[in-house]
Structure 1
Amino acid sequence: MILIGDEAPADPGAREALLDRAFGPARFAKTCERLREGRLPARGLSFAAKQADGRLVGTLRFWHVALGDRAGLMLGPLAVAEEARGLGVGSALMKAGLERARDLDHQAVMLVGDAPYYERFGFSAVHTEGLTMPGWVDRARFLGLELAADALDGARGLVRATGAIALTFGEAPRLQPRRAA
């Protein structure tokens, strides 16, 4: 049995190992990685698929982005361990993630991925025709999904990272000095 739930604080190490196995080191060179770099995933939108013994076999995260002049989410990466592929783990993660994104009132999601796989969840290149990425991307793999009617209708411009910035170990938040009254 595989359970889908929120990513736990102890999961990132296993998650990174799973992503390394699924995508290899080339994953760090992708344009979407530039949008995730130094950012925190969207709150409440990091998922883990685990076997009954607690072993991580799937992962999915969403990230805040601007889709031109619109707020949106970037989905990815979605990864499933080789031994769990073909069991519906990826589909279960997708359904849970998209349902939660709708429940949290997000309007639109974009991703770069395999069109035949993601089209079954409603993603289409039609929704990203007016958008550009900050680096090279195969246009046939640049897909969007409207979670609310017409959320991407007429969307134009650059996809940019907008999520919270992740502090690195030992880094203190930069506070603005107070002005004297």
Structure 2
Amino acid sequence: MTTLPLVIRPETARDGDAIERLHERAFGPGRFARTAYRLREGVAHLPDLSFTALVGTLLVGSVRVSPARAGDAPALVLGPLTVDPAFGSRGIGGALMRASLEAGRAGGHGLVLLVGDAPYYARFGFRVVPPRRLTLPGPVDPARFLVLELREGALAGAGGSVVGWAA
């Protein structure tokens, strides 16, 4: 049996349909009602910070990043991070996260927000958003509302409502 190498590369316009099918398989139709999806609604993701994972020619993972405002401060919203369930627990999600966060740092971005599993994202430096610091446009478990400073002190300038922002 041949082992195909994993390739992480920037998302291209040709990937859109395959990524939507991947999101449907991984999250189902209820994904559109979640607060994280509502935050990204109507806001295009940033291609220079969004990546795909391929095994051979098969797209098996994706991470997207969208622009937002956290009060008066610019921010990024990471998500969804998606890995095909058949390829789970193989480090694909971690590889996508590292690529996206490195691109964000290199691009001079300061703040990344997401809604997700704190124990998983803690290994990338994410922590729970301090209470009453930021609010999202819908209900969210405060223990799942996470932040990462790509630039030290970036959170200090953020406060209030987080909204998707078309740059």
TM-score, length of structure 2 as denominator length: 0.93
Distance 2:90 2:76 in 1: 26
Matching residue of 1:171: none
Alignment equivalent of 2:149, drawn from 146, 151, 156? 146
Distance 2:131 2:155 in 1: 8
Structure 1: unaligned runs, 5 residues or longer: 165-181
Matching residue of 1:72: 75
Distance 2:41 2:138 in 1: 14
Report the alpha carbon displacement of residue 154 of structure 1 after superposing the two structures with TM: 5.7
Check the 8 A contact 1:61/1:75 in 2, yes or no. yes
Distance 2:49 2:131 in 1: 22
Report the alpha carbon displacement of residue 127 of structure 1 after superposing the two structures with TM: 5.0
Structure 2 residue matching 1:121: 3-state secondary structure: coil
Look up the equivalent residue of 2:145 and give its one-letter code.
F
Report the alpha carbon displacement of residue 65 of structure 1 after superposing the two structures with TM: 0.3
TM-score, length of structure 1 as denominator length: 0.86
Instruction: Percent identity, please.
Output: 49
Look up the equivalent residue of 1:14 and give its one-letter code.
A
Rg bigger for which structure?
1
The range that moved more, 23-32 or 149-158, is 149-158
Q: 1:161 to 1:128 in 2, by over 3 A?
A: farther
Report the alpha carbon displacement of residue 15 of structure 1 after superposing the two structures with TM: 0.4
Misfit runs of 4+, over 3 Å: 126-129
Q: Is 1:161 the counterpart of 2:158 in the alignment?
A: no
Q: Is 1:42 the counterpart of 2:17 in the alignment?
A: no
Flag the structure with higher helix content: 2
Matching residue of 1:169: none
Matching residue of 1:51: 55
Structure 2: unaligned runs, 5 residues or longer: none
Question: Between Structure 1 and Structure 2, how many residues are aligned?
Answer: 163
Matching residue of 2:11: 7
Distance 1:42 1:127 in 2: 26
* Equivalent residues in 2 for 1:80-119, closer than 5 Å: 80-119=83-122
Q: Over aligned residue pairs, what C-alpha RMSD do you find?
A: 1.3
Distance 2:45 2:67 in 1: 7
Structure 2 residue matching 1:86: 3-state secondary structure: coil
Alignment equivalent of 1:19, drawn from 15, 20, 23? 23
Report the alpha carbon displacement of residue 45 of structure 1 after superposing the two structures with TM: 1.4
Check the 8 A contact 1:128/1:144 in 2, yes or no. no
Report the alpha carbon displacement of residue 107 of structure 1 after superposing the two structures with TM: 0.4
Look up the equivalent residue of 2:152 and give its one-letter code.
A
